[in-house]
Structure 1
Amino acid sequence: MDALTKNAVAETFLACLERSRHVTQPFYYWLLEDVLPEADVDAVAALAIPPPQGTHFHGRRETNNATRVFFDPETQERFPPCRRIADGFKDERVIAAIRAETGAHLYGTRVRIEYCQDAPGFWLEPHTDIAAKKFTMVIYLLSNPALRLAGTDIHEGPPGHAYVTTAPYGRNLGLIFIPGANTWHGVGHHPLRTLRKSLIINYVSADWRDTFELA
């Protein structure tokens, strides 16, 4: 059963990537629908992991590093859906398809998956991802209409980091971009007023320092 479900994660994503909408301005990104199997979206959104408490919102996730949750081996052991998703994105067919579609350099990379439960007041300043991240995908998990404008904000670069648009937040929708000098993005152009759940899936370089985060 696990093998079948793992294959379902890979197969569902491969079909999603084929249907993705490629946007070229102000940088290349891809908008996604039906990213994961429906049962896995439900399972992850319902994980028995309480939202972090006592968080501080200063525009950077690393401010709250102590409360962040990753699909590390321990979390995968506790929650089978986390293992299924991690295994799906280790599938060589998935890696090959991402490389073919986006041009991402994924040779020798490792999978890093973060489970985010962002509380009202959360925001991220416009930023670009560090060079060790070779691929970034955000998968949104909830269907709450109040979150429709709570997706990832797309910005132009300096000096003004002008707001361009927001990737639509919705259940099993997503966004891909390949980190680079111009991939300015954030969260918070539209204030967050309710809990926002998402997955951030990265392929990171083999020398990633915080190995405890890896799947």
Structure 2
Amino acid sequence: MEFLNSLKKRLKHYSSPFDHWELNEPLTEEAIEEICKTEIIDLTKMNINYDGTRAIDGGEGKFREGISDGGKAIKFRCFVGKENSKDFPNLSKLIEELRSKDTYGYISELIKKNLYNSYVRVEVICDRKGFWLKPHCDIKEKLISG
């Protein structure tokens, strides 16, 4: 339970400019290796007008213009779920750890938010040089991000 151990033993809390936490070594070496080996397109090498944001992953229609069926988002991030869990055994273990009562209970106390009926979503993102994330409000269903 590397993630929970990191929370309990290697966590730093900051209150300025808002409450946030820094985790030290929350993932196993094997999980990190899976992330590093995930094949994700380098958008900077594609012949598109890449603006440095994640809008290309299906958010904005300009990346699908001229495609009658609406096109398909370019895969530049990978969600880990049932359909590909065999490809990510260590990240799947992380998901199970995050779903455990001990872990979500500890996080719930930490952030003062009940996570009992929440869902875990793990994704591998490859933000490259030039990437920036527009200031935004996440959907109300998103309770925590890391």
Which range, TM-score by smaller chain? 0.7 to 0.9
Partners in 2 of 1:50 and 1:76 — Cα distance? 17
Structure 1 pair 107/62, CA: closer, same or farther in 2 (3 Å)?
farther
Partners in 2 of 1:38 and 1:79 — Cα distance? 13
- What's the counterpart of residue 91 of structure 1? 100
Figure out how many residues of one structure are paired with residues of the other and give that number: 125
Give matches, 1:92-131, under 5 Å.
Answer: 92-131=101-140
- What's the counterpart of residue 15 of structure 1? 5
Quick check: which has more Rg, 1 or 2? 2
Secondary structure of residue in 1 paired with 2:135:
strand
| Higher share of residues assigned strand | 1
Q: CA deviation at 1:58?
A: 5.4
- What's the counterpart of residue 16 of structure 2? 25
Q: Of the candidates 52, 56, 66, which is equivalent to residue 63 of structure 1?
A: 56
What is the one-letter code of the residue matched to 2:24? Answer: E
Q: CA deviation at 1:22?
A: 0.9
Moved over 2 A (4+): 50-59, 126-130
Taking only aligned residues, the RMSD between alpha carbons, in angstroms, comes to 2.0
Partners in 2 of 1:45 and 1:12 — Cα distance? 18
Partners in 1 of 2:42 and 2:117 — Cα distance? 32
Partners in 2 of 1:15 and 1:132 — Cα distance? 27
Structure 1 pair 58/34, CA: closer, same or farther in 2 (3 Å)?
closer
1:18-58 deviation line (CA, Å, top 9, x unaligned):
231111111110011011122221232223x2335447335
| Higher share of residues assigned helix | 2
Gaps of 5+ in 2: 59-72
Give matches, 1:1-215, under 5 Å.
Answer: 11-18=1-8, 19-47=10-38, 49-53=39-43, 54=46, 56-57=50-51, 59=53, 61-65=54-58, 66=73, 67=75, 68-137=77-146
Q: Which structure would you say has the larger RCO, counting Cα contacts within 8 Å and 6 or more residues apart? A: 1
